[in-house]
Structure 1
Amino acid sequence: MSDNTWFIIAIVIYMLAMVLIGYWSYRKTEKYDDYMLAGRGLNPLVAAMSAGASDMSGWLLMGLPGALFVSGMSELWIAIGLTIGAWANWMWVAPRLRSYSEVSKNSITLPSFFENRLRDKSRLLRIVAALIIIVFFTFYISSGMVAGGVYWESTFGGDYLMGMAIVAGVTVLYTFIGGFLAVSYTDVVQGSMMFFSLIIIPVLAYFALANPSDIWSFAASNDYGPHTDGIGNPTYFSMITGVSVAAIIGNLGWGLGYFGQPHIVVRFMALRSPAEAKQGRRIGISWMVLCLVGATFTALISTVFFAQSPEYSITDTRAYESIFLDLARVLFHPLIAGLILTAVLAAIMSTMSSQLLVTASSLIEDLLKVFKKDGLSERNLIMLSRATVIVLAVIAAVMAINPSDSILGLVGFAWAGFGSAFGPVILAMLYWKRLNAPGAIAGMLTGAVVSIAWGMSPLGDALYEIIPGFALATIVMVVVSLATKSPDQEILDEFDSAKKLAEAVDGQDDIDFAEAAKEIK
């Protein structure tokens, strides 16, 4: 059989597994809260793996190795910033958000939590937050579909639209039928595939080298990849040479984005208990660090492997983002290589499914329920949510048919948009009593507008837009909150209750969280 046949067999096995998980989740989903938040029953392993897989996407397997291959270790500042940010998110946001979202009227989405936390009777806070989520994620989902089409095109030489339709169709199917539970458990499978692939590929490539120790010096003095002028890349192993202070600060600033990513922090709200955030942090950060190390060594070893093995070529000779895929094809039997190649597909699908569900929840929970005065049954809410998943997918697919730079460009700073708009507000929601609704609304709008405007201007080339966006959003949020009416006593009392609940269950796995929450209330 041809290599492509083996690759297709591997992908069919993978996609069938995803659909079966979706069906299993469908059998477990009876209530609206189950569909949107898995009944707040995620264990730490599932929550951690799901957060990691929905976070990293194809950047981890293709973007980061390619950047490290071309530019060298100076690209590691982003990885360092992300690791610090992810750790801080699990440390400071996860346990407090899990407690507070339950105390505050059992909120199941970020916009509903914002409204309940600040008792915003105007509903404007919830609507603004939902609209920010819908706008950014619709473009983000479209980008995932574009990535799926390009993956199919480059891996199999197939038709872009057919590949996009297949990848999007399977993702929508298991999200449609299984909801949050399906998304979370498929993320575990997808995260595991990413992890093992990033460990196995560099290890086998390392032992395939004639002189493995060359990886520590080769790139600095020998031609490889884009460096063909006879001197290699002399600054390859330096993290600071030729890198401005603004660039380092901007790259480290990627970590700030974690505090405001809806598809990540919603995993914290789905934990069984705040006490399990500690275990989730250990699992999630360990997974992340090992994956980043694997991606780094994939790039490092590739500088030697392809230069010393001219019979093997790199498919992408522009950004060199295919080195992970090219190594898999060279090192493994086509069936195993096909399974490893699906790790990239898994990364794309895990992120897209999370974004679909979060966007659907914002449309139904945060907009429809706000404007529709009559109550809806559990069954109707689930069916509407499933219908919304399909509608969103269709809109995103139409946008992806002829992808433009504006769509793909927006995705480049969507992380900054969410981080700037929601990051300061979420931290203030959890740790600042004086925050009020006008301050939160002003902060969100400032963060979103500044990050987009900065990223689209020449200033974006000098400093990553999340830095000014996050900073200005924080300043505006604080100034407006202090300049307007202070929160009512009811809000202050609830803040104290949430804090007390988080402290009561901290590290106490044997405490019944539901009972503790009732007692605190």
Structure 2
Amino acid sequence: MTRATAALIVLCAYAAALIAMAIWGGRRTHNGNDFFLASRRLSTWLVAFSHVANASPAWLLLALSGAAFVWGLAAVWIWLAVVVGYALNAFYVGPRLRQLSIGQGSLTVVQVLSTDAGDRLQPLIVRSAALILSLALLLEISAVLHAAGSAFAIGFGFDFTSACITAIAAIAIVTLVGGFWSLSFSDIVQVGVLFVVGCIVPMAAIAVSGGVEQLQIGFQALGPEMTDWFAGRKGVVALALVVGISGLGFELTGQPHALARYMAARDESTLRNSRWIALACIAILLALMLVCGWSASVLYAGLERPEQAIPVVLERILSPLVSGFLVALLLGVMVIGMGNRLLILASCLSVDMKRSVSPLSFAWARVVLVFYAVIALCLALYATDSLLNQAMFAFAAVGASFGPLLLVRLTGKRVRPGSTLGAMWAGFVLTVLFHVLPDAPGDFLERVLPFVASLGIALTGGERRHNPDRADRSQETVHDRVAI
């Protein structure tokens, strides 16, 4: 059996699993509320694993292993930043966001941020949010599709265009049929595959190197920079590295596809239990990715693209058949995770931008989803940038645009409509600006300064509302101005 045959078996298994997920989700999807938020009926395990899969997608975990491959022990700071970001989401953002969305009747994070903006500026805020999400998430989806299609073409001999078309068609069909339900179930598959791969790589590395002690000796022999907590950096440069890495944790607070899982929780008890499961799951999964990267640095030095450390090591230490099977599994979960991004994009035009008096059109939502899937495919076929560069930019841009606003909004303050727009665009534009400039240590310019600037605008433009039923200052009545 060849590698191509192994990959084909994996793809057939994925196809069967996706069909089962689509049928399972389709039986539970009857209207727009089911399609976009599962009518707030997700169970504990679905909330937990789905949040893990969306807040830390497969490509981000592979990037973490690549950071461990290059930085050595200094990559532990990424583990700490992401775990702190998860804790912030679980214990602060999640409970408050769920309560606020239920009180407002909101189905999306954008609706939560724009509901009380007033009739004059609310449409502009919603359009701005839709534009930012469209630009960022389409870049992420196309980057993942392009990377997966290229990997199947180079590693397994498949046709690149056919691989991309098949992948986006499978994602779109599952999302169209089962919506939020099917995608939440597919997230469990993603987490399971990542756990399996994360366990296999270190065990195989230990077996090949002759034991844990030999692996440790090999790691120490790589040089002092690999065993230094700051990757050999000193003073201000070391501080910039740590601060830049911390931006990953804060950007988790602005990812709509991940936060929607908390909004969809069945009840408060479900939310309380799921956050502990998610926190433990991500802590273990991130630790496994770090170990994979450290093991890869011992077995394979001089890799040009560190984010490919796990696939390359799998091919180096395992038989062609087994490595082909596992690499195809990894590529599959990378692609499946993009269905949640498509669903968020579909909600931009079908939920966020609809008039408040208009009913939610289930059919229109599906048309919009297909529209975005076609655009993502076109971008994927002609993408030239690397997966890591393009996807990391999208992650940072969305986090800086929506994270600060959401944090301020959940304190109970109303952010003025003008400040909402300013914070949103400041986060996005500054991320674009620092992205095109040369990288700083830890990319702290791109990952931290846009978030801080957006947070500053949101804080200075916030006001604690005396009358929570009032949507805008223009709607004041004499009773709001005169004490009675």
Residue 488 of structure 1, CA deviation: 5.7
Structure 1 residue 361 corresponds to structure 2 residue 351? no
Aligned residue for 1:29, secondary structure, equals coil
Give the 4+ runs in structure 1 shifted more than 4 A: 117-121, 329-339, 406-410, 459-462
**Which amino acid in 2 is paired with 1:402?**
Y
**How big is each residue's C-alpha offset from its partner over 1:91-110, in whole Å with a ceiling of 9 and x where there is no partner?**
10111111110011x10011
Aligned residue for 1:158, secondary structure, equals coil
Structure 1 residue 471 corresponds to structure 2 residue 452? yes
State how 1:312-327 maps to structure 2 within 5 Å. Answer: 317-327=303-313
Note if contact 2:145-2:377 (Cα within 8 Å) is conserved in structure 1. Answer: yes
State how 1:377-416 maps to structure 2 within 5 Å. Answer: 381-405=361-385, 409-416=389-396
**Which amino acid in 2 is paired with 1:473?**
S
Structure 1 residue 242 corresponds to structure 2 residue 223? no
Note if contact 2:215-2:295 (Cα within 8 Å) is conserved in structure 1. Answer: yes
State how 1:14-413 maps to structure 2 within 5 Å. Answer: 14-104=14-104, 106-119=105-118, 122-123=121-122, 124-221=124-221, 232-243=222-233, 244=237, 245-306=239-300, 317-329=303-315, 337-367=323-353, 369-370=354-355, 375-376=358-359, 381-405=361-385, 409-413=389-393
Q: CA RMSD in A?
A: 2.6
Note if contact 2:134-2:345 (Cα within 8 Å) is conserved in structure 1. Answer: yes
Note if contact 2:11-2:332 (Cα within 8 Å) is conserved in structure 1. Answer: no
**Which amino acid in 2 is paired with 1:366?**
D
Distance across 2 between alignment mates of 1:459 and 1:209: 35
Distance across 1 between alignment mates of 2:415 and 2:181: 33
Residue 113 of structure 1, CA deviation: 1.7
Residue 29 of structure 1, CA deviation: 0.7
**Which amino acid in 2 is paired with 1:468?**
L
Note if contact 2:153-2:159 (Cα within 8 Å) is conserved in structure 1. Answer: yes
Aligned residue for 2:210, secondary structure, equals coil
73-82 or 184-193, larger mean C-alpha shift: 73-82
**Which amino acid in 2 is paired with 1:365?**
V
Task: Extract unaligned runs of 5+ from structure 2.
Answer: 472-484
Compared CA separation, residues 42 and 338, structure 1 to 2 (3 A): farther
Distance across 2 between alignment mates of 1:205 and 1:411: 29
Compared CA separation, residues 48 and 338, structure 1 to 2 (3 A): farther
TM-score by length of 2: 0.88
Note if contact 1:60-1:292 (Cα within 8 Å) is conserved in structure 2. Answer: no
Note if contact 2:58-2:194 (Cα within 8 Å) is conserved in structure 1. Answer: no
Distance across 2 between alignment mates of 1:410 and 1:155: 22
Structure 1 residue 428 corresponds to structure 2 residue 422? no
Residue 37 of structure 1, CA deviation: 0.6
Note if contact 1:54-1:351 (Cα within 8 Å) is conserved in structure 2. Answer: yes
Aligned residue for 1:317, secondary structure, equals coil
Distance across 2 between alignment mates of 1:408 and 1:63: 7
Compared CA separation, residues 61 and 107, structure 1 to 2 (3 A): closer
405-414 or 381-390, larger mean C-alpha shift: 405-414
Which residue of structure 1 aligns with residue 4 of structure 2? 4
Residue 175 of structure 1, CA deviation: 1.1
Aligned residue for 1:490, secondary structure, equals coil
Distance across 1 between alignment mates of 2:297 and 2:217: 10
Residue 395 of structure 1, CA deviation: 0.8
Note if contact 2:3-2:325 (Cα within 8 Å) is conserved in structure 1. Answer: no
Aligned residue for 2:225, secondary structure, equals coil
Residue 454 of structure 1, CA deviation: 2.3
TM-score by length of 1: 0.82
Residue 284 of structure 1, CA deviation: 1.0
Distance across 2 between alignment mates of 1:149 and 1:360: 24
Residue 50 of structure 1, CA deviation: 1.1
Aligned residue for 1:239, secondary structure, equals coil
Distance across 2 between alignment mates of 1:345 and 1:382: 31
Compared CA separation, residues 60 and 432, structure 1 to 2 (3 A): same
**Which amino acid in 1 is paired with 2:57?**
S
